[in-house]
C-alpha cells in the first residue's frame, strides 16, 4: 500500500524561510528608500514585485529554459504516465512541457498544484527506462504536492534584485547625484541581503530535494527506480559538453540533478545534496516501506 506522508520538516523549514525572506524583503525596500526612491514608488514596486512573482513564476521559468508546453496527442505516453502518477498522489494533472537539450533532467514549477508545470528534457526520455522516468516524474510531482516551488522562486527573485543593486552601487556612488557614502552603505546592505538570501535558497533547496525523493518513493512504492534514475542521470551528465550545461544554467536549482555543481565549501552553497546522501536517504525509505 502506497501512503503519502506529509513532510512536516519541509513544511517547518518553508515557513521559517518565508519569514526570514520577509525580513530580507523589508531590508531590500529599506535599501531602495536609502537610494531616494519615494514611498509611493516603494509601495508600487513591492506590490508589483509580489504580484508578478506569484502569477508569472511558471512562465518565467519556462521562458528562461526554452521549455515548450505539449499537448496529449504530441506525447501521449508521457501524458498517460503523468495522469497515473497524479492519481496515486491525489493531485490535479499539471501542464507538461518538453525542454530540448542534451542535458538529461526534469523540473517542476508553478504557484500551486492547480497551476503547476512538470517539464522533462527530451534527452532524459531516451536515457531512462519507463519505470525510472516514472520515479523522476513522481519526484517532480512531490515538489508540486509539497508546494515548495514558489518559495524557491520567490527567494531567487529577491536574491537577483539584491545582486543588481550590489553590482551597480559603485557606479552610482561615482556618478550619482547623492553622496558616495550613502550609496556605499546601500551597496553593503544589498550585499548582506544577497548573502543571506542565497544561504536561505540553498538550505531550503537541499532539503526539498530530500523531501521530493521520499515523496517519489511513497508515490511509486519503488525507491530503487529513483536510485537507478539518479545514478544514470549523474553518469550521463559527465558526458554532456560544458557549453550545453551552461545553456540551461538558469534552471539549475530546479533540476532533479544539477547540470552545474562546482566545488562548494561544506556544501553551504550547494543547491542539491550529494548523490551519495540521496541514495542513503532513499535506502532508508525503502526499509521503511518494506517494514524493517
Question: Looking at the domain assignment, is residue 78 inside a domain?
Answer: yes
Question: Looking at the domain assignment, is residue 189 inside a domain?
Answer: yes
Q: Which among 140, 209, 267, 287 is annotated as catalytic?
A: 140
Per-residue pLDDT reduced to its tens digit, 225-273: 999 999 999 999 989 998 998 888 777 878 999 887 654 555 666 778 8
Q: Is the pLDDT of residue 1 over 50?
A: no
The answer to whether 287 is a known catalytic residue is no
User: Assign residue 96 a region: left if phi > 0, alpha if psi is -120 to 50, beta otherwise?
Assistant: beta
What is the grid cell recorded at 13? 523549514
What is the grid cell recorded at 15? 515557513
Instruction: Name the domain count of the chain.
Output: 1
What is the grid cell recorded at 195? 548573502
Sheet holding 68-69, edge to edge: 68-69, 95-99, 116-121, 106-110
Per-residue pLDDT reduced to its tens digit, 100-133: 999 999 999 988 899 999 999 999 999 999 999 9
Hey, is 46 helix, strand or coil?
A: helix
Question: Looking at the domain assignment, is residue 158 inside a domain?
Answer: yes
Question: Looking at the domain assignment, is residue 1 inside a domain?
Answer: no
Q: Is the pLDDT of residue 163 over 70?
A: no
Segments forming the whole domain that contains residue 281? 8-290
Q: What is the mean pLDDT of the chain?
A: 81
Question: Looking at the domain assignment, is residue 3 inside a domain?
Answer: no
Question: Looking at the domain assignment, is residue 129 inside a domain?
Answer: yes
Query: What whole-number distance in Å separates Cα of residue 154 and Cα of residue 151?
Result: 5
Question: Looking at the domain assignment, is residue 179 inside a domain?
Answer: yes
Helix ranges (DSSP H) in the chain: 8-34, 39-65, 76-89, 122-127, 130-146, 149-175, 180-220, 223-237, 242-247, 275-290
pLDDT above 70 covers a percentage of the chain that reads 74
Question: Looking at the domain assignment, is residue 285 inside a domain?
Answer: yes
Amino acid at each position: 500500500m502506497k501512503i503519502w506522508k506529509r513532510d512536516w520538516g519541509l513544511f517547518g523549514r518553508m515557513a521559517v524561510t518565508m519569514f526570514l525572506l520577509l525580513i530580507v524583503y523589508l531590508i531590500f525596500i529599506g535599501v531602495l528608500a536609502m537610494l531616494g526612491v519615494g514611498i509611493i514608488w516603494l509601495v508600487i514596486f513591492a506590490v508589483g514585485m509580489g504580484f508578478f512573482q506569484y502569477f508569472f513564476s511558471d512562465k518565467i521559468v519556462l521562458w528562461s529554459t526554452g521549455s515548450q508546453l505539449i499537448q496529449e496527442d504530441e506525447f501521449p505516453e508521457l501524458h498517460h504516465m503523468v495522469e497515473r502518477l497524479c492519481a496515486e498522489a491525489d493531485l490535479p494533472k499539471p501542464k507538461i512541457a518538453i525542454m530540448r537539450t542534451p542535458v538529461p533532467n526534469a523540473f517542476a514549477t508553478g504557484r500551486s498544484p492547480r497551476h503547476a508545470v512538470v517539464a522533462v528534457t527530451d534527452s532524459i526520455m531516451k536515457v531512462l527506462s519507463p519505470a525510472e522516468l516514472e520515479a523522476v516524474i513522481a519526484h517532480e510531482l512531490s515538489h508540486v504536492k509539497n508546494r515548495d516551488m514558489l518559495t524557491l522562486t520567490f527567494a531567487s527573485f529577491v536574491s537577483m534584485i539584491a545582486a543588481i543593486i550590489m553590482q551597480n552601487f559603485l557606479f552610482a556612488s561615482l556618478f550619482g547625484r547623492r553622496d558616495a557614502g550613502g550609496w556605499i552603505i546601500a551597496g553593503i546592505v544589498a550585499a548582506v541581503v544577497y548573502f543571506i538570501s542565497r544561504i536561505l535558497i540553498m538550505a531550503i533547496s537541499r532539503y526539498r530535494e530530500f523531501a521530493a525523493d521520499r515523496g517519489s518513493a511513497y508515490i511509486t512504492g519503488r525507491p530503487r527506480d529513483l536510485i537507478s534514475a539518479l545514478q544514470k542521470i549523474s553518469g550521463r551528465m559527465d558526458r554532456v559538453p560544458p557549453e550545453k550545461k551552461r545553456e540551461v544554467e538558469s534552471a539549475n536549482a530546479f533540476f532533479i540533478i544539477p547540470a552545474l555543481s562546482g566545488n562548494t565549501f561544506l556544501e553551504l552553497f550547494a543547491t542539491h545534496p550529494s548523490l551519495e546522501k540521496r541514495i542513503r536517504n532513499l535506502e532508508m525509505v525503502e526499509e521503511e516501506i518494506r517494514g524493517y
